[in-house]
Amino acid sequence: AQSVTQPDIHITVSEGASLELRCNYSYGATPYLFWYVQSPGQGLQLLLKYFSGDTLVQGIKGFEAEFKRSQSSFNLRKPSVHWSDAAEYFCAVGGLTGGGNKLTFGTGTQLKVEL
Amino acid sequence: DVKVTQSSRYLVKRTGEKVFLECVQDMDHENMFWYRQDPGLGLRLIYFSYDVKMKEKGDIPEGYSVSREKKERFSLILESASTNQTSMYLCASSFAAGGNNEQFFGPGTRLTVL
């Protein structure tokens, strides 16, 4: 069965500091990996996705993520955080086997940005 | 842009009531999904549908049913609402074929059962 672990429930960073949110996955085949962001009171918006090819993926709002197969990780990074990045971030895994088009989400990381 | 809309942003119901949550998407997506979101638990899949009149149970289907009579509309039904179904409910849709398909989410319905 596929699963996703986001080990950090809450993270606080200062505006302008760099950010890394951790995501580890378990999947029996080639995974498809996603990062979503949820602003307060809103639905989820896709930040970026990895299917194949270059392991460093660029997304919207200046975010990037790196797929590391050997570590089963897909960590999200941003060089300089803005106050508007305060939100909840979800990592998700999907694939062609064992679930068709379903995604499995992590429990989320709440990001607080200090001014 | 893909748009997924949900019938209500906030809903308050009483224990034992039958509750309908409606979701509509405008991009001719084959797949539609219902999740519930609770603090510390992330998103958990309740049901999904890959075609009209087709449905499959997700991870937590107990106490819920769904209906998909038209391709663009997917309804979640709480036959007899209970307080432990107080939650945020999110609908999503995606194209068919393959796990690499992005899911597009609606804004959510925050349901309170008293």
What does the mean pLDDT of chain B come to? Answer: 92
Q: Give the model confidence (pLDDT) of B103-112 as tens digits.
A: 999 999 999 9
The amino acid present at B29, given as its one-letter code, is H
Do the bridges between strand A87-94 and strand A32-38 make them parallel or antiparallel, or are there none, so unpaired? antiparallel
Number of A to B CB contacts under 8 A, please give it: 64
Q: What is the dihedral of CA B114, B109, B55, A108, to 10 degrees?
A: -100
pLDDT at residue number A29: 75
A36 interaction partners in chain B (CB closer than 8 Å): 105
Q: Give the model confidence (pLDDT) of B29-82 as tens digits.
A: 999 999 999 998 999 999 999 889 889 999 899 999 999 999 999 999 999 999
* Nearest Cα residue to A58 out of A27, A24, A35: A35
Minimal Cα distance from B58: which residue of A?
Answer: A102
Q: Is A5 on the interface with B (CB under 8 A)?
A: no
Minimal Cα distance from A38: which residue of B?
Answer: B107
* Nearest Cα residue to A46 out of B89, B46, B104: B104
Letter string b/e over residues B87-114, b meaning 16 or more CB atoms within 10 A of that residue's CB: bbbbbbbbbeeebbbbbbbbebbbbebe
Q: Give the model confidence (pLDDT) of A76-101 as tens digits.
A: 999 999 999 999 999 999 865 545 56
Least Cα separation, residue A44 to chain B (angstroms) = 6
Minimal Cα distance from B30: which residue of A?
Answer: A101
Q: What is the dihedral of CA B8, A106, B68, B100, to 10 degrees?
A: 120
